[in-house]
Amino acid sequence: MKNEIRTLALEKVEFGVGDRTILQPLTTTLSGRGVTGLVGQNGSGKSTLLKLLARQQRATSGRIAFGGRAIEEWSDREFARKVAYLPQHTPLAAGLLVRELVAMGRYPWHGALGRFGPADQAAVDEALALTGTDTIADRFVETLSGGERQRAWFAMLVAQQAQLLLLDEPISALDVAHQVAVLRLVRRLSEEHGVGVVIVIHEINMAARFCDQMIALKNGSLIAQGPPAELMTTEQLEAIYEVHMGTLEHPDTHSSMAYVRF
């Protein structure tokens, strides 16, 4: 599983609606390994980029290749076995137990008619255990708190056993404790299970702490890409967010921390 091809190559990828361009022509390569954070202001095109990678939207022009093949050429289920996507706003999932929601992550593997076999059951159990949702497995999704619901959806993605997770602001609505819990889980999946993660994230310090790579977008253009240490400088941060910012040293990790200056 670890040596499989999973590189995402973007070639002049552009997206626009009408005469409004949301994503300027973008050429870059994502290794599909480790955790990559997408940062930038609201409306900078982060979510759009993620949706293009997840095949939720089609690029207006340009080419996205996954594992050397254009993503349009992958069949629906084949692609879903490799790439999982968590939208920013998850639907209500009315009338579903957590266990049933997680089991839906197995669809790419068993399809519409295939048997829900022991391997599927094992994957679901593992996902429940890994995300700590096994204790709430028999509750209705709509009765869960925000943090629990996020974990349940995350468990579905884990059960999907994809090599690449695309997460759209998974921690935006969570408190600090739940944010750290989700991001630790992301790191663990990346380190222990070799899963690649692309994550849209607003909390810049969290991003710097948990990501291996960061990509900054501004007005639909890529303005910086590199390890967190390269982006966590006053100049870069002010360029990204257009507010006065400063950095200081974290007392424990000695890495840079960003703060807003007044």
What's the one-letter identity of residue 198? V
**Considering the rule CB under 8 A, would residue 173 count as an interface residue with another protein?**
no
- 139 is a site residue for another protein (CB under 8 A): no
d(CA 222, CA 25): 9
Cβ-based nearer residue to another protein, 19 or 235: 19
Of the ranges 61-69, 120-128, 137-145, 173-181, which one interacts with another protein (CB under 8 A)?
Answer: 137-145
Percent helix, strand and coil across the chain, each rounded to 5?
40, 30, 35
Are 82 and 162 contacting, i.e. CB atoms less than 8 angstroms apart?
Answer: yes
CB of 87 or CB of 147, closer to another protein? 87
Tokens of 31: 């290794």
* Span 37-66, contacts to another protein by CB under 8 A: 54-56
Of 96 and 223, CB closest to another protein = 96
Least distance in angstroms from the C-beta of 18 to another protein: 4
**Contact between residue 156 and residue 127 where contact means Cβ atoms under 8 Å apart:** yes
Under rule CB under 8 A, residue 154 binds another protein: no
Cα gap 2→191, rounded to integer Å:
11
Q: Which of 4, 72, 73, 76 binds another protein (CB under 8 A)?
A: 76
Taking the complex as a whole, how short is the minimal distance between the CB of residue 141 and another protein, in angstroms? Answer: 9
Shortest CB 217 distance to another protein, Å:
20
3-state SS of 74-114 is: CCHHHHHHHEEEECCCCCCCCCCEHHHHHHHCCHHHHCCCC
Q: Which residues bind another protein (CB under 8 A)?
A: 17-18, 20, 54-56, 75-81, 84-87, 90-96, 100, 104-105, 107-108, 110-113, 140, 142-143, 160
